[in-house]
Amino acid sequence: MKRLNGKSAIITGSSKGIGKAMAKVFASEGASVLVVSRHQEAGDKTVSEIRQAGGEASYFRADVSRWGDVSAMVSAAIDRYGKVGILCSNAAIFPSTFIETMPIEEWEQVLSVNLTGTFFAVKACFPAMKQQHHGRIVLTSSVTGPHTGFPGWAHYGATKAGMLGFMHTAALEFAKYNVTINAILPGNIHTEGMDEQGEDFIRSMEQSIPMGKLGDPEDIAYAALFFASDEAKYITGQTLIVDGGQLLPESGLALSLANM
């Protein structure tokens, strides 16, 4: 029995990277997936790959920072699949600029997409989940913000930490309707965005991870699958760090001793 048979899932930011892996894994587990992205060509490619593998998916173009787009996204999911059982709020941007030189517009854009976009997606999906007295919401947060900082990502870290504050209250408000909300906190995952940082950045990140390698997008997708499944029906308002042990060493010395 596939874990998501008969369920529908909206996955934002799912034309590439972690979101694409979520879409593929969820579809392979029986879910009908609405692939949501601003990038139609990449979104259509994701849908095609899912269908070729025997899964069910369709594409919807939306900018999660726009309420009208997000509201239409939920309507499309209900029209196509009859319900909204699962939401993975995954869409995010992460430009890199130090605070001193950061334009106000860049700060506002990152908050609009990453944090307000999460609020919009959750708010839009909740009425349908409340009506059917069932729902699973999974947020893609990060270790950056809730646990660590990285120069240039003050706005990104703020949004990822903010998502967890939002989640805690949402979990309280939704629990009586059998709607859960949890978050995955990825460490360094080998996505297209990571490739854009260059080989030197990737090598330096690998050296800080006890397992000695970056994670795969599927590592995050399978963690999200757990939260979206009935196996996690009694878990809400919680976080799961998926980082290859990156946060464990208290210093570079600890990591060096572990690798001896």
Q: Which of the 8 DSSP states describes residue 241? A: E
Q: Tell me how far apart the alpha carbons of residues 186 and 190 are, in angstroms, rounded to a whole number.
A: 11
- pLDDT, one tens digit per residue, over 141-192 is 999 999 999 999 999 999 999 999 999 999 999 999 999 999 999 999 998 8
pLDDT attached to residue 195: 76
Top-confidence residue, 95 or 253:
95
Q: What percent of the chain has pLDDT over 70?
A: 100
From the list 137, 117, 115, the residue with the least C-alpha distance to 126 is 137
| For residue 260, pLDDT beyond 80 | no
pLDDT attached to residue 170: 98
Identify whether 131 is part of a domain: yes
Confidence grade of residue 222 (pLDDT, cut at 50, 70, 90): very high
Per annotation, catalytic residue among 156, 177, 222, 234: 156
| Mean of pLDDT over the chain | 95
Sign of CA dihedral 231, 233, 235, 236: positive
| For residue 237, pLDDT beyond 80 | yes
Number of independent structural domains in the chain: 1
Identify whether 2 is part of a domain: no
pLDDT attached to residue 199: 84
- pLDDT, one tens digit per residue, over 75-91 is 999 999 999 999 999 99
Only one residue has tokens 């995955």, namely: 184
What's the one-letter identity of residue 193? G
| For residue 101, pLDDT beyond 80 | yes
Residue 152 near residue 98, CB atoms below 8 Å: yes
Identify whether 192 is part of a domain: yes
Identify whether 1 is part of a domain: no
Q: Tell me how far apart the alpha carbons of residues 181 and 160 are, in angstroms, rounded to a whole number.
A: 15
- pLDDT, one tens digit per residue, over 43-56 is 999 999 999 999 99
Give the domain CATH number at 176.
3.40.50.720
Identify whether 3 is part of a domain: no
pTM: 0.95
| For residue 254, pLDDT beyond 90 | no
Distances 1 to 4, 6, 7, 228, 234 between C-alpha atoms, Å: 9, 11, 13, 15, 21
Q: Structural domain of residue 93, as residue ranges? A: 8-258
* Residue 248 CA to its chain's centroid (Å): 23
The answer for residues whose C-beta is within 8 angstroms of residue 97's C-beta and 6 or more apart is 103, 106, 152, 155
59 is catalytic: no
